[in-house]
A and B are shown apart, each in its own frame.
Chain A
Amino acid sequence: MSEMRYAAPANLEDAVALLSGANGAARVLAGGTDLLIQMRGGRVKPELLLDVKGIAEMRSILAENGGIRFGAAVSCMELVEHALFVQTWPGVTDAVKLIGSVQVKGRASVGGNVCNASPAADSVPAMIAAGAIASIVGPGGRRELPVEDIAAGPGKTTLAKGELLVSFLLPRRAPRSGDAYLRFTPRTEMDIAVVGAGVNLTLDAQGVCTQARVSLGAVAERALLVPEAAAALIGSKVDADALKRLGAAASAACRPIADKRGTREFRIKLAGVLARRAAQIALDRARGKN
């Protein structure tokens, strides 16, 4: 049997050196809630498991320039129990709360959710809508990348060999802005999104939408940023008409597969419905109604 190494470096330099130097497949172990299942099913056979939970930046939640920086290996439960995070980013919180059971959230991280690159990952559309920026460290140094540019397709990322996603920066919250995430699953919990929709919008003093980002999950090979859907909101008062146009644009952007979790038609229709409902919640939050 092939030997599987385990290493738990205490700093980024050691982590990157280990990742770069691995002879075969190396896998980053944060919460392990996807990785351990893949290993058990024989789908991945890493030569090196790199446990990154000992690296300070990857485990901390800090205010930064009016925004929030949180480590890629911070567990979902730590995030949803963090008062500032929950208050500032209710939509991202909604999404993080939906990642599995309490038990799974006790281990799972947003970094893992992003790097696992499942098109149905719950946190990703919310993070994309929020405009989250990932901070990546590799042999060549540090670089910043919008979250929507990390997944390349199911199970594939744009990270190069030796690169490690270290933390995320959620930008400063504009006044009169709000975000929301909704997903559809047949059960209330313990399910994978059939469709997910994240909306983040900002209003001016008159209640007109000045900025919006809309992202959809599980309707394509990776989570989509849908500017056409956002365009339906911008310049409107997010009234019924605008919401209807948003829904249509969201549905039009879908290119889903049919699988055990839902048909194509179902996903296309639901994307519109959920985008509309998420926008309504984001609107209420922007108006200060929760």
Chain B
Amino acid sequence: MAKHHVTAALNGNSVEFLCETQQTLLDVLRDELQLTGSKEGCATGDCGACSVTIDGRLVCSCLVLGVEAQGKSIQTIEGMAQGDRLHPLQRKFLEHAALQCGICTPGILIAARSLLERNPDPSEGEVRYWLAGNLCRCTGYNKIVDAVLDAAREMRGS
């Protein structure tokens, strides 16, 4: 069967790939494009480990078909740092020890960035509700929430 030929912008670069209809964007990222930073924790949209943004919109890449990426702009964890400069969220996650095993970290960083783009000064509750779609089994979320709030402070320059 003929595969779909898809052209998209991935972390600012133009990419082309072939995929079958049923392949998800997560499958394409991991298996076709070798970008394994987005993780499969459930493949049902319940854990958020595969979070990416499409045209700026936060989604689970396991619930998007690869073919739907045609013409879209996709951001993954691999595009979060600018060259050798970590994003403030990435730095704060390291400083606050906001990860233990780290499997949920890429998805949480992408989700947190999406929050701070919309709301540069979130309350603790707003962080917790925004991140409710990102499961972490290690940390109990304390240090994740701390790191996001601290990154927001730094990014606001206060």
**A residues in contact (CB < 8 Å) with B:** 1, 3-6, 8, 29, 31-33, 36-37, 39-40, 49, 51, 53, 75, 77, 100-104, 106-107, 188-190
B59-74 residues at the A interface, CB under 8 angstroms: 59-60, 62-65, 67-68, 70
Chain B interface helix/strand/loop/mixed: mixed
Chain A, Cβ-Cβ closest to B67: A6
Pick from B9-17, B40-48, B77-85, B136-144 the stretch touching chain A.
B40-48
Q: Give Cα distance in the complex from A188 to B130, angstroms.
A: 12
Chain A residues positioned under 8 Å from B64 (CB to CB): 32, 36, 107
Number of A-B contacts (CB under 8 A): 81
Name the distance in Å between A89's Cβ and chain B's nearest Cβ.
21
Chain B residues positioned under 8 Å from A40 (CB to CB): 43-44
Name the distance in Å between A5's Cβ and chain B's nearest Cβ.
7
Q: Mark B38-58, 1 if CB is under 8 A from A, else 0.
A: 000001111010010010011
Given A5-B21, A36-B24, A190-B46, the answer on whether A107 and B59 have CB atoms closer than 8 Å is: yes
B65/A190 in contact, CB under 8 A: no
Chain A residues positioned under 8 Å from B43 (CB to CB): 40
Chain A, Cβ-Cβ closest to B52: A103
Q: Give Cα distance in the complex from A51 to B60, angstroms.
A: 18
Q: List 21 A-B contacts (CB under 8 A).
A: A1-B1, A3-B1, A6-B21, A32-B64, A36-B24, A36-B63, A37-B45, A40-B43, A49-B65, A75-B57, A101-B45, A101-B132, A101-B134, A102-B114, A103-B59, A106-B57, A106-B59, A107-B59, A107-B64, A189-B132, A189-B133
Interface size (B, Cβ < 8 Å)? 32
Q: Give Cα distance in the complex from A6 to B19, angstroms.
A: 12
Q: Give Cα distance in the complex from A31 to B63, angstroms.
A: 8
Chain B residues positioned under 8 Å from A188 (CB to CB): 129, 132
Task: Please provide the 4 A-B residue pairs with the shortest distance between their CB atoms, ordered closest to farther.
Answer: A101-B133, A189-B132, A4-B21, A106-B59
Q: Give Cα distance in the complex from A75 to B64, angstroms.
A: 13
Q: Give Cα distance in the complex from A232 to B115, angstroms.
A: 42
B4 proximal to A (CB < 8 A): yes
B132/A104 in contact, CB under 8 A: no
Name the distance in Å between B6's Cβ and chain A's nearest Cβ.
11
Chain A residues positioned under 8 Å from B133 (CB to CB): 100-104, 189-190
B88-145 residues at the A interface, CB under 8 angstroms: 111, 114-115, 129-130, 132-134
Q: Give Cα distance in the complex from A150 to B57, angstroms.
A: 29
B22 proximal to A (CB < 8 A): yes
Q: Give Cα distance in the complex from A51 to B133, angstroms.
A: 25
**B residues in contact (CB < 8 Å) with A:** 1, 4, 20-22, 24, 43-46, 48, 51, 54, 57-60, 62-65, 67-68, 70, 111, 114-115, 129-130, 132-134
Which of B62, B63, B70, B130 counts the most chain A CB atoms within 10 A?
A: B63
Given A37-B44, A190-B133, the answer on whether A104 and B65 have CB atoms closer than 8 Å is: no
A77/B63 in contact, CB under 8 A: no
Name the distance in Å between B72's Cβ and chain A's nearest Cβ.
11
Name the distance in Å between A53's Cβ and chain B's nearest Cβ.
8
A49/B44 in contact, CB under 8 A: no
Q: Give Cα distance in the complex from A108 to B130, angstroms.
A: 16
Given A29-B65, A190-B133, the answer on whether A103 and B111 have CB atoms closer than 8 Å is: yes
Given A6-B4, A32-B64, A107-B63, the answer on whether A102 and B24 have CB atoms closer than 8 Å is: no
A36/B65 in contact, CB under 8 A: yes
Q: Give Cα distance in the complex from A39 to B4, angstroms.
A: 18
A49/B21 in contact, CB under 8 A: yes
Q: Give the residue of A3, A104, A189, A190 whose beta carbon is less than 8 angstroms from that of B63.
A: A104
Q: Give the residue of A31, A33, A51, A101 whose beta carbon is less than 8 angstroms from that of B48.
A: A101
Name the distance in Å between A261's Cβ and chain B's nearest Cβ.
15
Q: Give Cα distance in the complex from A3 to B70, angstroms.
A: 20
Name the distance in Å between A46's Cβ and chain B's nearest Cβ.
9
A33/B63 in contact, CB under 8 A: yes
Name the distance in Å between A109's Cβ and chain B's nearest Cβ.
12
